[in-house]
Amino acid sequence: MTTDHYCVFGNPISHSKSPLLHTEFAKQTQQDLSYTAQCVDVNDFSSAANKFFEAGGKGLNITVPFKHDAFSFAENLTERAKRAGAVNTLFLNKDNSITGDNTDGIGLVTDITKHLEWTIKNKNILILGAGGAVRGIVEPFVKESPNSITIVNRTKEKAQQLASDFSDIFSIQSCSYSELAERDNAIAFDIIINGSSASLSGNLPPLPDNIINENTCCYDMMYAKELTPFLEWAKEKKAPSISDGLGMLVCQGAESFFIWRGVKPETKSVIQYIRSIL
Ligand code: ATR
């Protein structure tokens, strides 16, 4: 039997933890596979992906900046990839066609509900940011039946557009940061998710005090060895539970692994392992 090959495409890619986590999953489930990382030229996604599959590759993970290229490249798309407008997983079908899926949102929801044991059902959720990362998580959140979802963004029009794009499945509120501070009957949210890229540049969006109280759980989709500025803010406000996005990363990987191999790896120990070597 030959060893099946998988890879993650991105640019840059040297920071990627995907080879590490998929190698752990393979060991754990005794799957015969190899998984590498490839830095792809920004104008060369299609030809690199074609080359990979022509050489017998079985599946790809896709990271920044190629999730939209992968969306266009895929011959078929799953419903959740269509909703997300982006693809993070490509897989080869028996007829050699290639399907694009998106496991980012389900990865986040799995980390929140299974590992952190936060409840989404009937809760009031605030999401910061309205870019590609947030678009990918909206539908899996809606599926958990929250009481409300509010999207706040620096550029309010993008939050409005996102809310409008999901209006057939949920009535999402959208606002700017100043409007968030001025809400009439200002309730604190139950869960706040930072899906903006502010943490990447060491920034914190302008968050009013009335959105958080001692029951508000806070999640940053970025992960880092140190607390992100958003999680520092949450800690200072005495949030009862805070988490960065390492669990989301591992859980989206586990979903991709399941799509490719039909086996669900255990994720908690892999999160702990990667955390220990950050
Ligand atoms: P990604 O794919 O990571 O979502 P993106 O599509 O470029 O990247 O979106 C980045 C998001 O982070 C946007 O919502 C952006 O706000 P704007 O739409 O107003 O640009 C948000 N963002 C980036 N830097 C920010 C900052 N310093 N404060 C608040 N929001 C920020």
C-alpha distance from residue 139 to each of 80, 166, 210 (Å): 7, 8, 26
Which residue of 196, 200, 201 sits with most ligand 1 atoms within 8 Å of its CB, as the best mutation to test the pocket?
196
User: Is 235 a catalytic site residue?
Assistant: no
Match 């050699």 to its residue by tokens. 96
Do 98 and 92 meet the contact criterion of CB atoms below 8 Å apart? yes
Residue owning the nearest CA to atom 21 of ligand 1: 196
Residue owning the nearest CA to atom 25 of ligand 1: 198
Binding site membership of 155 for ligand 1 (Cβ less than 6 Å) = yes
Binding site membership of 180 for ligand 1 (Cβ less than 6 Å) = no
How many angstroms separate the alpha carbon of residue 198 from the centre of ligand 1? 6
Binding site membership of 137 for ligand 1 (Cβ less than 6 Å) = no
Q: What pLDDT, on the 0 to 100 scale, is given for residue 1?
A: 64
Q: Which of 35, 37, 36, 39 is nearest to 11 (CA)?
A: 39
199-250 residue pLDDT tens: 888 899 999 999 999 999 999 999 999 999 999 999 999 999 999 999 999 9
Do 141 and 120 meet the contact criterion of CB atoms below 8 Å apart? yes
Q: What is the pTM of this model?
A: 0.95
What residues contact residue 15 under an 8 Å CB cut-off, 6+ apart? none
Q: How many CA atoms lie within 13 A of 259 on its CB side?
A: 26
Between CA 244 and CA 231 the distance in angstroms is 8
Q: What pLDDT, on the 0 to 100 scale, is given for residue 199?
A: 86
- Tell me the DSSP string of 255-267: HHHHHHHS-----
Between CA 27 and CA 34 the distance in angstroms is 11
Residue owning the nearest CA to atom 18 of ligand 1: 155
Do 24 and 272 meet the contact criterion of CB atoms below 8 Å apart? no
Binding site membership of 199 for ligand 1 (Cβ less than 6 Å) = no
How many angstroms separate the alpha carbon of residue 129 from the centre of ligand 1? 6
80-97 residue pLDDT tens: 999 999 999 999 999 999
Q: What pLDDT, on the 0 to 100 scale, is given for residue 2?
A: 84
For residue 61, the surrounding DSSP H or E stretch is strand 59-62
Q: Which of 67, 82, 121, 225 is catalytic?
A: 67
C-alpha distance from residue 270 to each of 28, 113, 249 (Å): 10, 17, 11
Regions of the chain with pLDDT less than 70: 1, 184-185
How many angstroms separate the alpha carbon of residue 248 from the centre of ligand 1? 19
Give the single-character DSSP code of 112.
Answer: I
Binding site membership of 151 for ligand 1 (Cβ less than 6 Å) = no
Ligand 1 atom, smallest distance to 129 CA: 14
For residue 274, the surrounding DSSP H or E stretch is helix 268-276
Q: What pLDDT, on the 0 to 100 scale, is given for residue 197?
A: 92
